[in-house]
Amino acid sequence: MAKSALQTARAAYRPKLPKALKGAVKAVEGEATQSVANQEEIKKLFPNPYGMPVVTFEPTAETACCGPVNVGVILSGGQAPGGHNVISGIFDGIKNLNPASRLYGFILGPGGLVDHHYMELTADIIDEYRNTGGFDIIGSGRTKLEKEEQFEKGYEILKELGIKALVIIGGDDSNTNACVLAEYFAAKKYGIQVIGCPKTIDGDLKNEMIETSFGFDTACKTYSEVIGNIERDCNSARKYWHFIKLMGRSASHIALECALQVQPNICIVSEEVEAKEMSLDDVVETIAKAVAARAARGDNFGTVLVPEGLIEFIPAMKCLIAELNDFLAANAEEFAAVAPDKQRGYIIGQLTPANAAIYESLPEGVARQLTLDRDPHGNVQVSLIETEKLLSEMVGKKLAAWKAEGKYAGKFSAQHHFFGYEGRCAAPSNFDADYCYSLGYTASRLIANGNTGYMSSVRNTTAPADEWIAGGVPITMMMNMERRHGEMKPVIQKALVKLDGAPFKAYAAVRDRWALETAYVYPGPIQYFGPTEVCDQPTKTLQLEHPRG
Ligand code: FBP
| 341-379 pLDDT per residue, tens | 899 999 999 999 999 998 887 878 888 888 887 766 666
Can you give the pLDDT at residue 377?
A: 61
| 106-129 pLDDT per residue, tens | 999 999 999 999 999 999 999 999
Query: Is 481 in contact with 490 (CB distance < 8 Å)?
Result: yes
Can you give the pLDDT at residue 483?
A: 86
Of the candidates 517, 306, 510, the residue with the CA atom closest to the CA atom of residue 414: 306
pLDDT band at residue 66 using 50, 70 and 90 as cut-offs? confident
Can you give the pLDDT at residue 23?
A: 87
Of the candidates 435, 457, 436, the residue with the CA atom closest to the CA atom of residue 445: 457
Sign of CA dihedral 173, 174, 178, 181: positive
Q: Is the distance from the beta carbon of residue 78 to the nearest atom of ligand 1 less than 6 Å?
A: yes
- Mutate which of 177, 204, 249, 387 for ligand 1? The one with the most ligand atoms within 8 Å of its CB, which is 249
Q: Is the distance from the beta carbon of residue 439 to the nearest atom of ligand 1 less than 6 Å?
A: no
| 264-299 pLDDT per residue, tens | 999 999 999 999 999 888 999 999 999 999 999 999
Task: Tell me the average pLDDT across 171-194.
Answer: 96
Can you give the pLDDT at residue 367?
A: 85
- Atom number of ligand 1 nearest to Cα 76: 3
CA 269 to ligand 1 centroid distance, Å: 18
- What SS3 class is residue 337? coil
- What pTM does this model have? 0.93
Q: Is the distance from the beta carbon of residue 248 to the nearest atom of ligand 1 less than 6 Å?
A: yes
Residues of 270-307 as b/e, b for ≥16 C-beta within 10 angstroms?
bbbbbeeebebeebbebbbbbbbbbbeeebbbbbbbbb
- Atom number of ligand 1 nearest to Cα 205: 2
Can you give the pLDDT at residue 62?
A: 76
Express the helix, strand and coil content of the chain in percent, nearest 5 each: 45, 15, 40
CA 483 to ligand 1 centroid distance, Å: 20
CA 201 to ligand 1 centroid distance, Å: 8
Catalytic residue among 173, 202, 204, 432: 202
For residue 238, pLDDT over 70 is answered with yes
CA 249 to ligand 1 centroid distance, Å: 6
Q: Is the distance from the beta carbon of residue 307 to the nearest atom of ligand 1 less than 6 Å?
A: no
Can you give the pLDDT at residue 49?
A: 92
Q: Is the distance from the beta carbon of residue 200 to the nearest atom of ligand 1 less than 6 Å?
A: yes
Of the candidates 151, 257, 323, 234, the residue with the CA atom closest to the CA atom of residue 497: 257
Query: Is 303 in contact with 377 (CB distance < 8 Å)?
Result: no
Task: Tell me the average pLDDT across 44-51.
Answer: 95
The CA distances from residue 161 to 350, 436, 485, in Å, are 50, 26, 35
Protein residue with its CA nearest to atom 16 in ligand 1: 78
The CA distances from residue 466 to 93, 124, 204, 207, 506, in Å, are 17, 28, 25, 22, 29
Per cent of the chain over pLDDT 70 is 98
Query: Is 288 in contact with 402 (CB distance < 8 Å)?
Result: yes
Can you give the pLDDT at residue 384?
A: 78
Query: Is 449 in contact with 474 (CB distance < 8 Å)?
Result: no
CA 237 to ligand 1 centroid distance, Å: 33
| 456-495 pLDDT per residue, tens | 999 999 999 999 999 999 999 999 999 877 789 999 989 9
Q: Is the distance from the beta carbon of residue 201 to the nearest atom of ligand 1 less than 6 Å?
A: yes
Side chain identity, residue 274: E
Query: How high does pLDDT run on average in the chain?
Result: 94
CA 424 to ligand 1 centroid distance, Å: 9
Distance CA 221, CA 404 (A): 41
Protein residue with its CA nearest to atom 7 in ligand 1: 78
CA 171 to ligand 1 centroid distance, Å: 9
Q: How large is the C-alpha radius of gyration of the chain?
A: 24
According to the 3-state scheme, what is the secondary structure of 4-40? CHHHHHHHCCCCCCCHHHCCCEEEEECCCCCCCCCHH
Q: Is the distance from the beta carbon of residue 511 to the nearest atom of ligand 1 less than 6 Å?
A: no
pLDDT band at residue 511 using 50, 70 and 90 as cut-offs? very high
- Atom number of ligand 1 nearest to Cα 308: 12
Can you give the pLDDT at residue 162?
A: 97
Judge whether 202 counts as a catalytic residue: yes
Per cent of the chain over pLDDT 90 is 82
- Mutate which of 213, 247, 418 for ligand 1? The one with the most ligand atoms within 8 Å of its CB, which is 247
Q: What are phi and psi of 167, to 5 degrees?
A: -110, 125
Task: Tell me the average pLDDT across 141-149.
Answer: 91
Of the candidates 49, 286, 54, the residue with the CA atom closest to the CA atom of residue 183: 49
Q: Is the distance from the beta carbon of residue 171 to the nearest atom of ligand 1 less than 6 Å?
A: yes
pLDDT band at residue 64 using 50, 70 and 90 as cut-offs? low
Q: Is the distance from the beta carbon of residue 325 to the nearest atom of ligand 1 less than 6 Å?
A: no
Side chain identity, residue 174: S
Can you give the pLDDT at residue 382?
A: 67
- Mutate which of 201, 222, 245 for ligand 1? The one with the most ligand atoms within 8 Å of its CB, which is 201
